[in-house]
Amino acid sequence: MTCAAGEAVVCAIDVGTSGTRAAIVRPDGTIVRELRRDHPPAPGGGFDPAGRWHALAALLRELTAGRDGRLVAAGISGHVGCVLTGRAGEPVIEGASWSDSRGIDLVRRAWGDTSARGGQEATRRGGQSRLEKALRVTGRPEPSGGAVPLLAWLAARHPEAVRRVRWALSPKDDLILRLTGVAATDATSAAYTLGFDVAARDWAAELIAAAGVDPALFPPVHDASDVVGTVTAQAAAATGLPSGLPVVAGGPDGTTGAAAVLGARTDVIVDVAGTTDVLNRVLTDPGGVPAGVAVLNPYVLPGHWSWGGPTGMTGGAVAYLLRLLGLGELAEPSLTAAMAALPPGSDGLSVVPLISGARFPDWRPAERGALWGLDERHTPAHVLRAAQEGAAYVVRAGLDRIDPSASLPVLLAGGVARSADLCGLRADVTGRPVLATARPDASLLGAALFALAGAGVYADAAEAQARTAAPVRRVDPDPERTARYGELYERWLRTRAALP
């Protein structure tokens, strides 16, 4: 596909845990050209920030070679994590993934652990412990990984290294720094540092300092569609992007994807299903969210918040099992047909897919995956279907936490939305109607929408989303299968809770 030489287009970049995608996108949301480069697996879940940059630069050079259209801006979405950079933009340590738990114990103690007697007494008296107050400010039900605990750990273990840190950035923000020379973040990414006041949409400097961390290490906060800088001459030479091209702040991949398909709707729960499922319900008032129930984030649209959070490994666990079984990509029609033909419960085989820990709604970073009920009748199709069912159970737990009445439908985006079988499975397991978007590459499109708004093609990101919204297909749950999955889900919960 090509476009006219003078037509305004944007460059959209989506940096996931397993790979990076980049695309040229028209104002109507049409992808003119898209490329992907996989990331090599990193032991321990970390990553090489410099390697990510070089891979992105090569991808962009290929993408922009001989391009049609007139590039007017670039936008980036990226996975949750942390990059600590020095004054010259160099990484001080390996990039940390969302599951990195280093320093959480230090922050708990610094903020007053609720397991301490004083915290228990305060709760019994109807008050809040220091830790509970801190979590209320940061919008978290439990202390989680992020830049604040990572810096606290680095200061305790490697004080000489922490003195070299100038900026604490998300993986997406690190790439913006390399493109523009400007340190900046968006409010949603900032919330994942564990040092952000989500209601005020500003850094919680007192909490950061109480953890023994310098608040000056955190960059200025912007709206997702704000232009934060322009491509430098050096970055232009490396990437093929035009020097001076505006770059917007962007946002985390899950929330950016949610904005692409959801906009500001408050009557559905969006599920961006990729390596992990990211669940969000949009709110206009953060005050009504009960403490300790779910993650509360500033939403990527101004004046809105999102309630929910990223689950643990779901789609990524299915991909892992494919590799483990030596099946490569799930493309063999006979295998997919065999999986779809299995009855609910995969003939007694069950899987917990959380191979790198549980996030929303349970926040158990030490939890790991499990498989039980295996016998000689089970085939690879059984294993993979049980993993898909386990992923759907994880999603149901999150949906039920956000909406205990089970009255809200699920707006589904991401890879799962491409499969009619998996959309049906999600509907049957959750007992909710599924609205599957016809444009499943939500995170990439979200990055494009913010770039279009930042370039002035549209007045704001909300208008960009409205102009590019794709149709959805509705999948209703089958009552008989939903009843059966209700029994299997309760059994899965009990067995999971009993695992060591």
> pLDDT (tens digit, 9 = 90+) per residue, 217-272?
999 999 999 999 999 999 999 999 999 999 999 999 988 988 998 898 999 999 98
Task: Establish if 450 belongs to a structural domain.
Answer: no
Task: Establish if 104 belongs to a structural domain.
Answer: yes
Assess whether 210 and 262 both reside in one domain: no
Q: What is the pLDDT of residue 161?
A: 97
Task: Establish if 452 belongs to a structural domain.
Answer: no
Q: Which residue has the tokens 């999955």?
A: 485
Q: What is the pLDDT of residue 442?
A: 86
Nearest to 354 by CA among 306, 387, 323, 307: 387
A 10 A CB-CB count for 438 gives: 13
Contact 309, 254 (CB under 8 A): no
> Environment class of residue 361 by beta-carbon count within 10 Å: exposed (0-12), middle (13-18) or buried (19+)?
buried
Assess whether 175 and 93 both reside in one domain: yes
Q: What is the sign of the dihedral through the CA atoms of 380, 432, 360 and 36?
A: positive
Assess whether 143 and 240 both reside in one domain: yes
Q: What is the pLDDT of residue 119?
A: 44
**Residues of the chain falling short of pLDDT 50:** 114, 116-126
Distance CA 476, CA 474 (A): 6
Task: Establish if 465 belongs to a structural domain.
Answer: no
Q: What is the pLDDT of residue 2?
A: 59
Would you mind telling me the total number of residues written for the chain in this entry? Answer: 500
Distance CA 20, CA 37 (A): 5
Domain holding 259, by residue range, is 255-438+470-498
Task: Establish if 453 belongs to a structural domain.
Answer: no
Task: Establish if 261 belongs to a structural domain.
Answer: yes
Task: Establish if 249 belongs to a structural domain.
Answer: yes
Distance CA 235, CA 244 (A): 10
Assess whether 261 and 134 both reside in one domain: no
Distance CA 392, CA 295 (A): 20
Assess whether 151 and 275 both reside in one domain: no
Tell me the pTM.
Answer: 0.81
Assess whether 280 and 397 both reside in one domain: yes
User: Could you give the dihedral angle defined by the CA atoms of residues 395, 396, 402 and 408, in that order, rounded to the nearest 10 degrees?
Assistant: 110
Assess whether 408 and 367 both reside in one domain: yes
Instruction: Kindly give, in sequence order, each residue whose CB lies less than 8 Å from that of residue 71, ignoring residues fewer than 6 positions away.
Output: 9, 10, 11, 24, 64, 241, 242, 245
* Rg of the chain in Å (alpha carbons): 22
Q: Which two tokens stand for residue 309?
A: 């959070």
Instruction: Kindly give, in sequence order, each residue whose CB lies less than 8 Å from that of residue 101, ignoring residues fewer than 6 positions away.
Output: 145, 149, 357, 365, 366
Task: Establish if 447 belongs to a structural domain.
Answer: no
Helices 315-324, 380-402: inter-axial angle, 10-degree rounding: 170
Q: Among the three residues 212, 238, 253, which one is the final residue of a domain in this structure? A: 253
Diameter over CA atoms, the chain: 69
Helices 442-454, 461-468: inter-axial angle, 10-degree rounding: 130
Q: Compute φ and ψ for 173, nearest 5 degrees.
A: -65, -35
Assess whether 161 and 278 both reside in one domain: no
Assess whether 225 and 260 both reside in one domain: no
Q: Is 494 helix (H, G, I), strand (E, B) or coil?
A: helix
Assess whether 79 and 207 both reside in one domain: yes
Distance CA 360, CA 139 (A): 12
Q: What is the pLDDT of residue 121?
A: 43
Rounded (5°) CA angle 283-473-481: 90
Share of the chain above pLDDT 90, in %: 74
Q: Which two tokens stand for residue 117?
A: 């007697």
Q: Among the three residues 235, 253, 271, which one is the final residue of a domain in this structure? A: 253
Assess whether 334 and 358 both reside in one domain: yes
Q: What is the pLDDT of residues 296-350, one digit of tens each?
A: 999 999 999 998 888 989 999 999 999 899 887 655 678 889 999 999 999 999 9
Q: Among the three residues 206, 231, 253, which one is the final residue of a domain in this structure? A: 253
Assess whether 189 and 50 both reside in one domain: yes
Contact 223, 212 (CB under 8 A): no
Instruction: Please give the tally of structural domains in the chain.
Output: 2
Distance CA 314, CA 275 (A): 6
Report the CATH number at residue 335.
3.30.420.40
